[in-house]
Structure 1
Amino acid sequence: MKYLFVFVLSILIFTLSFAQNGSSNLSTTDTVFVSESGKKIKAIMGRMQVKENRKNPNSELISISFIQLKSSTPTSENPLVYLEGGPGSSSTWQATYPEYLESWVELLEYSDVILLDQRGTGQGARRVTHIVSEDVPSKIFVDEKLRQDYFNNVEENALNAFKERGVDLKGYTTLQNAADIEALRIALSYQKISLMGFSYGTHLAQTYMKYYGENVEKAILIGTEGLNHTKKTPLSMDMQFKKIALMAAQKKEVSEKVPNLLELHKIVIEKLNSNPVEMKIISPLTRKPMKIELNGYALNMILRFDIGDASDIPIFPKLLYDASQDNYDILKWFVQKRIGMFYGINGMSMMTDKASGATAYRNEKIKHELEESMFANIFKETESKNDKELNIDLGDEFRSPFASDIPVLFLSGTLDFNTPPYQAEEVRWGFPNSEHIIIKNAGHEQIRRHPKANAAMVSFLKDEKIEDVDLSYPMLEFVPLDDKSKTNIYHPAIAQE
């Protein structure tokens, strides 16, 4: 359930006149983008036609979009293909935003960079996206049966909508995504490519290396999700929260009023479960006020979404403290931020995660961990009435570990709950030609953003020594619990003086 409901706020559409090149299924056009520093970057915008389901000879064709940013070095190496996370996130939009494009300038000194939209993302998202037509029930968080009935209904309506469009959902798997990368390599006539994946993109990169490894020169995996890591384990979130509690206990701005964050969490959960709080937020559908009730489940759900983001962690002690004092403004801000996820389904995200699945051993591990996790209520999966129809599991052969001599650079963050460093080490066990840079105090979103991360990646691509590279962020500072305290710590959930 945690990955089924993705509300698509906007879909970036490129309207282009494409010129046919050598391949009948590939169309391209030349263009120029400008980075934040004013650097003009030549690029090729392209679309590739592929079958929606390669296992179905009568499958419809779908478009895969990409943008190839041209290197500033005339004798550049094989291209670096970037694979975004999600699953369900696009890559090509980064070229159209100068501040994001700037993050690629340093890497473009080494080679071309291809920003690849995976099937069902970017322009392809409309085909596999279903948006609901009514607001979610006000008790969706506090009534478990109502919540499950709502999810089942939305899912069933989405499946009917996809059928009417002729969508073959069985084509939306990581194996099909990997085959798209191979099709693009062939269409662009490259003997080899290098890969750079973030989050789910690392899952996809490993899949390509497992099945098409002879065509990979090097790989960079940022926030690693192994082939059997799709389903998160409950106690990994417990450990993340305990780490945050220890860090908060060392900070006077928190510990003077809250010496034990774990105990405070327990108190607030019990309070909200006994007396759910009602608040008004703005509907992402109608843009009008709507009522929503929140309980302990809602609080844990909010923590689950953002507990791996170092930009949100600093406000969690204040969120809990304010809630214990009957002030729910910060919680309201997070609910407003995340409520859109209950307003629709992205078929690509849903099916890709279901197909990757988990081994019986990992499912059993999750089941046992639920017995002692303080976040068991949000990790407990309830069976959907559509599960039998949606079953496209790729099997344990897909999820089995593999070994490769491809040079790989792993980058992880010590505060990343989504893809913790030990997952990268588990995958790295099969890659003898690998390095692992663990960035201290980096959350999931902060790994790639480190000011020196690009330089480390370029050094790796150039076969330069990186064993001694040490990247870190300063120790986290927490938002003071006292509203009157002066602070330079910014978070959009609180008003700044």
Structure 2
Amino acid sequence: MRFVGSLVATTLAISTLSALASEDHSESAETRTYANETPITFTANDGQSTEAFSGHFWVPENRNNPQSRKIRINYVRFAATGDLQGPPMVYLAGGPGGSGIGTAKWRRFPLFMAMREFGDVIALDQRGTGESEKAPRCDSSVTIPLKEVVTAKAFVQGYQQAARECLARWREQGIDVYGYTTVQNAWDINDLRQHLNARRVNLWGISYGSHLALSAMKLFPEQINRVILASAEGLNQTVKLPARTDAYFARVQQVIDQQPLKSAVADLPALVRRVHRRLHEAPLKLAIPKKDASEQQMLFQAHHMQRLAGMMIADPNQYLAMLILTYNELDKGNTRTLTGVLQRGIFRDKPLSFSLMSLAMDMASGITPARLRLVTQQAESSLLGTWLNFPMPALNRLDEKLDLGNAFRSAPQSSIPTLLFTGTLDGRTYPEGQKAAVRGLSNLTQVKVVYGGHNLFMSSPEVLENMQLFMQNKALPNTTITLPLPKLSLQEIVSR
């Protein structure tokens, strides 16, 4: 944990943050409790533990319906540990569908603990996620055949039919599907603020969590103190531009060119196009081993490979090398690595299944007609087409009543102090898109993380250092963090 080193600096920091604090607490942070809270020992997955509070509050399922039922929203509150107790910091998980409580148990646990220096830290399970009240998962009656050729059009139509079926089934169960939008989700943050008796809150989000934060900044700016974002997804960016995916692959080639891998992969985009073309002309018959020693037969097509690539490009140090190896082997007629990847059950011969929160949030955020036209135009010649975002935009305006409209998708205009971390090798929310997402933020500090991917909060100690400086209202001395060059070695992958 980082603390201010001198008495003068400490005095200034206390003065600054006291002015930003939501209220004057007369009791210690460790003993202060709110309604519906229970003391717990919170244990992370690596065994570290800390005292915390498990709490919940109730919100309308659909604020646009005066007769709406109430649903429960759960959170874990880590009490402030420092003297600089400002507004609560609310963590907003990505997805949509990620669990804030679950995130706190994994690699980001040290960040949650470190940020307690500045106030209570709230791991929020957004409506319909994690420990919060949620609709049962829906298994539709639609199955996409794995052993026969399925055109991209038929694939899309299958998902559309399954989504309509599941939305209807949830409505039959008395669930108001029209309450599961980013706007309703954002208002939950304001209800949480009131539940905590706070005048303002700080927001900390990544990916869809940044999408949610940007919506909150438009809806109730006076109640938001400071915002920390990573891998920003704009309000009109649920569907990413296919041309930016092509630019991402070009950046990956620049990394390859600095390593021995260049001799094997001299032109990654050309390799990708070549493999896709061959799969389109002649799909591969695969026998994928299963845990019970049986085999899953599959006819592997180009759109399967495009979807698979979209799942594996988020971070350069996770699956990217394996993806490049898969393309390289397929180009030579070898399916070994591909079969190993598919053993993880990515494509299943089972009915299509949906989570209400994940499905409805994306459908509601949607895409403007102008952007959809651009996406459609670019998809015709781009490497992954629209498969990066699947099943969007296939489900766009499938239910007109769920769509939030173009006013929602306009970028926020805000002077709220905001810190944004952008990875140059983010394969999910591209740097060009992030720049557009925050163009209306006049009080923005953007940190470029060179060679950083989508999940970059734990990529370098400098990320936390910059977060702490930002919360201390100090200027960042360096707005570029340079990570080690990602090792894209086919030999390393083969030996694992």
Equivalent residue, structure 1, for 2:93: 84
Shift of 1:35: 5.3
> Given the superposition, is the C-alpha separation of residues 38 and 142 from structure 1 closer, same or farther in structure 2, using an over 3 Å criterion?
closer
Q: Secondary structure at the match of 1:396?
A: coil
Alignment of 1:26-175 (within 5 A): 27-34=36-43, 40-97=49-106, 99-124=107-132, 126-131=134-139, 136-139=144-147, 142-144=150-152, 146-175=154-183
Pair 1:261-2:271 in alignment: no
* Pairwise CA RMSD: 2.9
Pair 1:479-2:494 in alignment: no
> Is the Cα–Cα contact under 8 Å of residues 53 and 168 in structure 1 kept in the other structure?
yes
Shift of 1:68: 0.6
Equivalent residue, structure 1, for 2:307: 301
Measured against aligned partners, the alpha-carbon deviations of 1:301-336 in whole angstroms (never above 9, x if no partner) come to 111122222122223332111112222222233334
Equivalent residue, structure 2, for 1:442: 452
Equivalent residue, structure 2, for 1:181: 189
2: CA distance, partners of 1:384 / 1:266: 23
> Given the superposition, is the C-alpha separation of residues 198 and 141 from structure 1 closer, same or farther in structure 2, using an over 3 Å criterion?
farther
Q: Between Structure 1 and Structure 2, how many residues are aligned?
A: 461
2: CA distance, partners of 1:287 / 1:390: 46
Q: Secondary structure at the match of 1:48?
A: strand
Shift of 1:121: 0.8
Give the letter for the 1:204 counterpart.
L
In structure 1, runs of 5+ residues without a counterpart are 1-20
Equivalent residue, structure 1, for 2:439: 429
Give the letter for the 2:353 counterpart.
G
Q: Secondary structure at the match of 1:241?
A: helix
> Given the superposition, is the C-alpha separation of residues 209 and 385 from structure 1 closer, same or farther in structure 2, using an over 3 Å criterion?
closer
Equivalent residue, structure 2, for 1:321: 328
2: CA distance, partners of 1:226 / 1:443: 17
Q: Percent identity?
A: 27
Measured against aligned partners, the alpha-carbon deviations of 1:226-265 in whole angstroms (never above 9, x if no partner) come to 111111111011111122223223322x222332222222
Shift of 1:291: 1.8
**Structure 1 length normalisation: TM-score?**
0.84
Equivalent residue, structure 1, for 2:230: 222
2: CA distance, partners of 1:84 / 1:290: 34
> Given the superposition, is the C-alpha separation of residues 386 and 466 from structure 1 closer, same or farther in structure 2, using an over 3 Å criterion?
closer
In structure 2, runs of 5+ residues without a counterpart are 1-31
Equivalent residue, structure 1, for 2:3: none
1: CA distance, partners of 2:33 / 2:339: 54
2: CA distance, partners of 1:22 / 1:472: 41
Give the letter for the 1:458 counterpart.
Q
2: CA distance, partners of 1:101 / 1:402: 30
2: CA distance, partners of 1:281 / 1:167: 38
Q: Secondary structure at the match of 1:397?
A: coil
Alignment of 1:1-12 (within 5 A): none
Give the letter for the 1:102 counterpart.
P
Equivalent residue, structure 2, for 1:279: 286
> Is the Cα–Cα contact under 8 Å of residues 230 and 357 in structure 1 kept in the other structure?
yes
Measured against aligned partners, the alpha-carbon deviations of 1:265-308 in whole angstroms (never above 9, x if no partner) come to 22222222222112233679x99642221121111111112222
Shift of 1:145: 5.0
Equivalent residue, structure 2, for 1:451: 461
Measured against aligned partners, the alpha-carbon deviations of 1:182-225 in whole angstroms (never above 9, x if no partner) come to 11111110011100010011111111111111011100011111
Give the letter for the 1:413 counterpart.
G
Shift of 1:22: 9.6
Equivalent residue, structure 2, for 1:247: 255
> Is the Cα–Cα contact under 8 Å of residues 37 and 102 in structure 1 kept in the other structure?
no
Equivalent residue, structure 1, for 2:319: 312
Measured against aligned partners, the alpha-carbon deviations of 1:136-192 in whole angstroms (never above 9, x if no partner) come to 521477433542453244324322431232111100011100110111111110011
Pair 1:393-2:399 in alignment: no
